[in-house]
Amino acid sequence: MSAPVVIAQTDRLTRLRTRLRAAGLDGVVLTKPQNVAYLTGFTGSAGVAVVTEADAHLVLDFRYLEQAANQAPGCRRVKANGPLLDAAAALLRDLGVQRIGVEADTMPVGPFRRMQDALQPAEIVPLDGLDHLRWQKDADEIRTIRRAADVADAAFLAVLPQIRPGAVEREIAAALEHELRRRGSDRMPFDLIVASGPRSALPHGVASDRAIGPGEFVVIDFGAVVAGYHSDCTRTVVTAPVTEQHRHIYDVVLRAQLGALAALRAGMTGREADALGRRPIVEAGLGDAFGHSLGHGVGLAIHEGPTLSPREEATLTPGAVVTVEPGVYLPGWGGVRIEDLVVITEDGCDILTHLPKDLHEATA
């Protein structure tokens, strides 16, 4: 692993240890793969990180010892011959740690109780907010997410001519996945959404065997994964013939999105950001048709903080990567969503998605 990545990992561990000291903890056990990867560099599918004031350890089975040596040279490797959490508990006993944090939103009740029993009289403390360490991206992370967005942009443009009346949703999704992988996506970040006609009113309408008809919206939600980091984008196209209702609904959503992008900046809360995109839709009389948040954070997970939500009081900081994705969904008829990925800056946002947003009319 190159020195700059090790330096970034050291900085992240320093911030974690500051958080632990503030909570009066001697160490923490991390099981969420995204947090393990962020704080140690290890990206394997099975690994537990144990971080104390003095050291960072990775508890692994034999499959991942060599991978961890390459990806996380700053961590001490501990080979587990059984369940990883049992080995982590044994390590903590050997270290004499007395007050240990665990991820409150990740640790199941059963393993939590077993760890309590194994470590008595040490105290196990559920710790909230560890994911917040990942909210503000550094320059390397932003460059990687930008690459993922570029891959997604290119893949969509390659498939766009195939989105026309008579095409089958599932075939469009397969073609898009092929282009994403061919252009550099490590895997799919989620089940690709291709939803046409009345199904486009389903915010998460994954591709079906339905053939796209004439005069219908088609919502396509997709992204790429590069070096573990995600991108997320949605575009909506319409098949001919286009009606005034199509144009009206699309224009309402587009105005809401463009207005939010123009006003979004560091210092506002997620609730205030959500209002930027929600207000124009409400003023158009379509507030009840916009039932989800304006956006969410994106990084090592496809959905992470901060959210642009009516319930989010956290303040947006420079370096946060979020989606801006207003939508209008009319059951039985169709829906529109337009989604870009952006980096929050002091005086605005840097848009990472570069696909056109004019209403694209597809013909047979």
List per-residue pLDDT tens for the chain, 364 residues long. Answer: 334 445 578 899 999 999 999 999 999 999 999 999 999 999 999 999 999 999 999 999 999 999 999 999 999 999 999 999 999 999 999 999 999 999 999 999 999 999 999 999 999 999 999 999 999 999 999 999 999 999 999 999 999 999 999 999 999 999 999 999 999 999 999 999 999 999 999 999 999 999 999 999 999 999 999 999 999 999 999 999 999 999 999 999 999 999 999 999 999 999 999 999 999 999 999 999 999 999 999 999 999 999 999 999 999 999 999 999 999 999 999 999 999 999 999 999 999 999 999 999 999 8
What are the φ/ψ torsions at residue 255 (nearest 5 degrees)? -60, -40
Q: Is the peptide bond before 241 cis (omega within 30 degrees of 0)?
A: yes
The Cα–Cα gap between 282 and 288 comes to: 8
CB 334 within 8 A of CB 201: yes
> Taking the complete model, does pTM exceed 0.85, yes or no?
yes
The Cα–Cα gap between 182 and 151 comes to: 9
Residue with tokens 């009840």: 288
The Cα–Cα gap between 34 and 195 comes to: 30
Please choose, from the candidates 297, 276, 279, the residue with its C-alpha nearest in 3D space to the C-alpha of residue 287. Answer: 279
Q: Residue 150: its pLDDT value, please? A: 98
E strand or H helix at 53 = none
Q: Is 55 strand, coil or helix?
A: coil
CA 106 centroid distance within chain:
16
The Cα–Cα gap between 273 and 317 comes to: 12
CB 233 within 8 A of CB 220: no
Supply the angle between the helices 3-22 and 139-159 in degrees, to the nearest 10. 110
Q: Residue 2: its pLDDT value, please? A: 35
Using CA atoms of 346, 348, 352, 356 in order, give the dihedral in degrees to the nearest 10. -170
For 337, how many CA atoms within 13 A lie in the half-sphere containing its CB?
A: 32
Q: Residue 285: its pLDDT value, please? A: 98
Expressed in angstroms, the distance from the first to the final Cα of the chain is: 51
Taking CA 194 as the corner, what is the angle to CA 192 and CA 199, rounded to the nearest 5 degrees? 130
What are the φ/ψ torsions at residue 332 (nearest 5 degrees)? 85, -10
CATH number assigned to the domain covering 3-133: 3.40.350.10
Beta strand 334-337 with 233-239: parallel, antiparallel or unpaired?
Answer: unpaired
Tokens of residue 245, six digits: 């209702």
* Residues near 3 by beta carbon (within 8 Å), at least 6 away in sequence: none
Q: Residue 267 — left, alpha, or beta (φ > 0 → left; ψ -120 to 50 → alpha)?
A: left
The alpha-helical segments, DSSP class H, found in the chain are 3-22, 33-40, 65-71, 84-95, 109-119, 139-159, 169-182, 244-263, 270-283
The Cα–Cα gap between 183 and 189 comes to: 15
Query: Which DSSP category does 222 fall into?
Result: E
CA 213 centroid distance within chain:
32
Spell out the domain ranges in the chain.
3-133, 139-362
The Cα–Cα gap between 36 and 50 comes to: 9
Go through the chain and tell me how many residues it has. Answer: 364
Positive or negative, the CA dihedral 200, 203, 206, 208 is negative
CATH number assigned to the domain covering 139-362: 3.90.230.10
